[in-house]
Amino acid sequence: MQFTAEMIAAALNGEVVGNKDASVSTVSSIDGGKAGSLAYLTNPKYEQYIYTTEASIVLVDKSFEPKGEVKATLVKVENVGECVLNLLEMYNATKPRKTGISKMASINDDATLGEGCYVGDFAVVERGAKIGNNVQIYPQCYIGDNVVIGEGTKIYPGVKIYEGCKIGKNCILHAGAVIGADGFGFAPREDGTFAKIPQLGIVIIEDNVEIGANTCVDRAKTDATIIHSGVKLDNLIQLGHNVEVGANTVMSAQVGIAGTTKVGSNCFIAGQVGIADHVTVGNGVKIGSKSGIDKNVPDGEIRFGYPALPGVQYHRSFAVFRQLPDMAYTLRALEKSVKVLEEAKEK
């Protein structure tokens, strides 16, 4: 679908500078813009590209005044960042929506599907599953016995949802995600082998949660592993059994959280963070990348490092740490000087 500059300006309460009939059908970065694309300038350091971009339309702030000739049509708006988000949502809404049940899908007679659902080739929906209205299940997904999926949820190819798990409304599960595999529970025996501890709980994912590709959320030993509303999980994340993640918390790739840990709401957890078992992380906590958390973290705290330290303490420690090579050189020089003085004193 094509949008003209005039249509975009009307939707965003903006002002057209240039050809109001210029049209676009896709979005691009300003440095890689091509004819027929919409670009945007949100960071001043990219202003140089606005004079060379091939993009047909560029969104800019109302305060922007070009320092040279701009070939593209400009649409001036109050807040470029917010407007780009709105436009992307508008564009996404125009994309055709998949519907219909593939003849090559396997749907148990005891499963229930709501209206307007899509089920792709080789998807499997087992006994007792309850699928809400307008759910999209892409090819090669597995929906286990008695799984519940809320309306409007989208499940991309290769997702596996084990028996009994519950997925809320308007969630997105990306390709390869595994929901409800057994938690990592084993009891050591006297002979050195391990006995498997049955994992009898489920996973509950509330509304508006997005789970990245190949992310795994283990089922609980008892009760439930719970992901509350609005949580956003990146690719390649591991959440252990009985973990609970509070509403609107965000995690970047390769985070690993061990069993029975509780993470509060509105937290920001950067990539490759590891959190030990039975730890409580408060609300509004921020944890820097590659940090290791082995103790409880109070509400609103910032943590960096391994083992993680409070933000200010970490930066003070790092200021010392990065000087260690020079300090070691100075120490060796002092040792030599002391040795010379001691030898002189003995003489």
Which residue numbers are catalytic? 241
From 259, 248, 152, select the one nearest 203 (Cα to Cα). 259
**Backbone region of residue 221 per phi and psi (left: phi > 0; alpha: psi in -120 to 50; beta: other values):** alpha
DSSP assignments along 297-345, one per residue: B-TT-EEETTTTEEHHHHHHHHHHHTTHHHHHHHHHHHHHHHHHHHHHH
First to last CA, the chain: 94
DSSP 8-state assignment for residue 235: S
From CA 240, how far away is CA 203, in angstroms rounded?
A: 11
DSSP assignments along 78-98, one per residue: S-HHHHHHHHHHHHHHHSPPP
Cis preceding linkage at 307, omega within 30: yes
DSSP assignments along 107-167, one per residue: E-TT-EE-TT-EE-TT-EE-TT-EE-TT-EE-TT-EE-TT-EE-TT-EE-TT-EE-TT-EE
What's the half-sphere exposure (Cβ side, CA atoms, 13 Å) at 336?
6
